[in-house]
Every structure is written in structure tokens, then in C-alpha cells.
């Protein structure tokens, strides 16, 4: 991921919450023949005490990922946070010279790691599904939990799934949030983004540091 130093963010304490908040990751795998494939899968960030963080996921046994990616193979997981188009009209500076261009603000995290399959372990799968669901339901007034589903249905579904873990070997992030602009420009961007109809634009506004 091409990142200039101004926009680089490599502190796990900052990147982990972004990964947890936007768990739908783009998994990029490369076969032995050099062919690349892309998969969209929700991943659970697992950070046990005293251990290296890892990512947990699941697929049905017939999934292409299960068929083509072997134990210990390397892959990339890309997490993309909120993003928003930035109109040149929003910049305070540069209006007279017209030396302005549209831009895009965004946050992204790239994790590299090695995959380990979790075979025939419905207890692991249920634990993973419970954690993944709980993280998404936590802010709801009436959160749904896996315990509310019919037990035989849940157990049957778990038997058709295979789990996997990705040991994170490298983690890097990028926060492209107009850091190169003046404070007046950034304050103007925040004000305009907060008035945009897109909720994602308003999320970006909350990430920009004036």
C-alpha cells in the first residue's frame, strides 16, 4: 500500500479499533501459479492477552478459498473505513488561484499474514460466530444473540462451516484526511462533510483533525 509518511499510521492501538469497526475485509490470495483472487469476508479481530493478534473467519466447505488456499499460505486482508469525496469548493485557500483539484479522504488498514485452517471444530466455529455477532449487536437497544436462534439450526450450520485464522505478520494503515491542508481548510471540510446526506461522509468528518 503506497503511503507517504504524513499519512502513515502503524500503531496497532489505532488500527485495531478500525479493523473491528469495519470487519468486512477484502482478502487477496495468490496461487502457486501466480494467479490472484479476491474474497469479501467478515473477519473477527482476536487479540488474546499476551499473544499476537490474529484474524478469525469462516467459509462454507465448498468455498473457493477453502479449495485453493493451503495451510500456511500468505495473504493480504484489506479493511477500508469510511471514505468521502472532497469538493474543491470546500477549500478556503486557493480559490483565487484556482489551483485546486477534487480529492478523496479515507482510512484503510492492510494486514499481511499466514492462514491456518480450523477443521471439524464446531465449538471454535460457534465461539467465533458468537463473538462476530456480539461485536455488531453491542450498540443496539435490543441486541440479537446466537442463543436466540434454534439450537439445532445453529449446530447444523456450524457443521457446514470451516474456520480459519490469519496470524498477522505485518500491519500498516493509511489515514488520508487532508493533513497536508491548512487548519482553515480542514475546518471547512469538517463543516461541509457534516452537512452531506451520506452518513459515511459524516463519519469522515469525525476523523479529520482540525
Grid coordinates representing 167?
496470524
- The reported pLDDT for the residue numbered 45 is 93
- The reported pLDDT for the residue numbered 32 is 65
Instruction: Tell me, rounded to whole angstroms, the distance of Cα 17 from its chain centroid.
Output: 9
- The reported pLDDT for the residue numbered 120 is 85
In the three-class reduction of DSSP (H, G, I as helix; E, B as strand; rest coil), residue 96 is classed as coil
- The reported pLDDT for the residue numbered 83 is 97
**Cα end-to-end distance, the chain, whole Å:** 25
- The reported pLDDT for the residue numbered 51 is 66
Grid coordinates representing 139?
450498540
Contact 113, 75 (CB under 8 A): yes
Distance between CA atoms of residues 100 and 116, nearest Å: 48
Angle between helices 183-193 and 199-207 (to 10 degrees): 150
Contact 90, 184 (CB under 8 A): no
In the three-class reduction of DSSP (H, G, I as helix; E, B as strand; rest coil), residue 183 is classed as helix
Distance between CA atoms of residues 181 and 71, nearest Å: 46
Block mean pLDDT (10 aa), the chain, length 210 = 92 92 93 80 86 88 88 93 96 83 96 93 92 92 92 88 94 96 95 95 95
Amino acid at each position: 500500500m503506497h503511503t507517504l509518511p504524513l499519512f502513515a499510521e502503524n500503531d496497532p492501538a489505532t488500527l485495531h479499533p478500525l479493523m473491528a469497526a469495519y470487519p468486512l475485509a477484502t482478502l487477496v490470495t495468490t496461487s502457486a501459479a501466480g494467479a490472484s483472487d479476491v474474497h469479501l469476508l467478515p473477519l473477527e479481530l482476536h487479540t488474546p492477552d499476551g499473544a499476537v493478534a490474529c484474524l478469525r473467519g469462516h467459509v462454507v466447505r465448498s468455498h473457493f478459498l477453502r479449495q485453493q488456499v493451503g495451510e500456511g499460505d500468505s495473504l493480504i486482508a484489506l479493511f477500508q473505513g469510511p471514505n468521502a469525496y472532497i469538493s474543491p469548493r470546500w477549500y478556503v485557500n486557493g480559490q483565487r488561484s484556482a489551483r485546486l483539484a477534487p480529492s478523496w479522504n479515507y482510512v484503510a488498514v492492510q494486514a499481511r499474514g499466514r492462514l491456518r485452517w480450523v477443521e471439524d471444530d464446531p465449538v471454535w466455529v460457534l465461539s467465533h460466530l458468537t463473538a462476530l455477532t456480539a461485536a455488531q449487536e453491542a450498540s443496539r437497544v435490543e441486541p440479537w444473540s446466537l442463543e436466540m436462534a434454534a439450537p439445532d439450526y445453529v449446530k447444523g450450520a456450524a457443521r457446514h462451516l470451516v474456520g480459519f485464522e490469519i496470524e498477522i505478520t505485518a500491519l500498516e494503515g493509511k489515514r488520508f484526511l487532508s493533513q497536508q491542508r491548512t487548519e482553515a481548510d480542514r475546518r471547512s471540510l469538517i463543516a461541509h462533510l457534516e452537512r452531506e446526506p451520506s452518513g459515511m461522509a459524516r463519519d469522515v468528518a469525525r476523523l479529520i483533525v482540525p
